[in-house]
Amino acid sequence: MEERTENAGAHAHTHAGGCFFCDTAMPMLENLVSESTRDHFRNSRVEFLKGIRSLLDERIAHMTRDHAKGAKVDVE
């Protein structure tokens, strides 16, 4: 998908074409809600993505750590 920038008032948004939320919901919401409300939703999207990043970091750490191969036993 190609990215495009649209200017809604004083705000420029970059998003992918074909996205229902970006093409339909956001333009409608921008006209209905205040600047502080938009800031809250923008911050929540950032926090959601940080949560996803945290999950990925934990999974990567789990997959890359060395696993114990067993105990060494001396045989007489």
Higher-scoring residue by pLDDT: 47, 7: 47
Query: How far apart are the C-alpha atoms of 75 and 73, rounded to whole Å?
Result: 6
Q: Which of 11-15, 16-20, 42-46 has the lowest mean pLDDT?
A: 11-15
Single pTM value for the model: 0.48
More confident residue, 75 or 76: 75
Place of tokens 């996205």: 19
* Per-residue pLDDT reduced to its tens digit, 21-44: 888 887 887 788 888 988 998 999
Return d(Cα 13, Cα 67) in angstroms, integer.
Answer: 45
Is the predicted pLDDT of residue 57 greater than 80, yes or no? yes
